[in-house]
Amino acid sequence: MTEFASAMACATCGFKLGEPLATLTVSDLCFVSDHRFPGRCVVTLHQHATELFDLSPALRSAFADDVSAAARAIKLAVNAFKMNYEILGNADPHVHCHLIPRQLDEPKPKVPAWLHPEAQTELAASQADEIKRRIVALHREIPAA
Ligand SMILES: [Zn+2]
């Protein structure tokens, strides 16, 4: 994993979401500041594609490995009870996976994240910075399974 300052938007579709934290094997890990889900991130495939089944088996597998490693670091960084993995693409078809850490003290911890009763607002900058630092550090420290 390499830290970097800015991820490029997709040259084909222009997709870009979140604040870049790191470049992974075949994707970028980006942070989404969301007070409802501290630690929320998105993993975006470097290559433009709109469906997982369009990827070669090797690329699909590498993307899953990137998602898994990022999810593990996020879960540990914010002590989540469960990670949610969302691959939708209805609005932005470029292959990306939302990683949403869930906490038992949320208003509705057992329902899909998108049904949270509150609107998204950003975390305090100091809280976001601490979470980002922990995610990057944990991702770097934990060997791939
Ligand atoms: Zn794209």
Q: Within the chain, which residues score under 50 in pLDDT?
A: 1-5
DSSP helix/strand/coil, 85: strand
Q: How far is the CA of 92 from the centre of ligand 1 (A)?
A: 8
* pLDDT at residue 2, rounded to an integer: 44
* pLDDT at residue 96, rounded to an integer: 98
Helix, strand, coil content of the chain in percent (nearest 5): 30, 20, 50
Q: Which residues surround ligand 1, an ion (CB under 5 A)?
A: 10, 12-13, 15, 48, 94
Domains of the chain: residue spans and CATH: 1-5+8-98 (3.30.428.10)
Q: How far is the CA of 50 from the centre of ligand 1 (A)?
A: 7
Segment 101-112, tens digit of pLDDT: 999 999 999 999
Residue 88: DSSP 8-state = -
Q: How far is the CA of 124 from the centre of ligand 1 (A)?
A: 30
Tokens of 28: 């970028």
In which order are the strands placed within the sheet that holds 41-45? 19-23, 27-31, 41-45, 96-102, 82-86
* pLDDT at residue 5, rounded to an integer: 47
Q: How far is the CA of 14 from the centre of ligand 1 (A)?
A: 6
Q: How far is the CA of 55 from the centre of ligand 1 (A)?
A: 13
Query: In angstroms, what CA-CA distances link 113 with 31, 72, 97, 138?
Result: 16, 18, 13, 24
Are 99 and 28 in contact, with CB atoms under 8 Å apart? no
Q: How far is the CA of 9 from the centre of ligand 1 (A)?
A: 8
What is the model's pTM? 0.92
- At 80, which amino acid appears? A
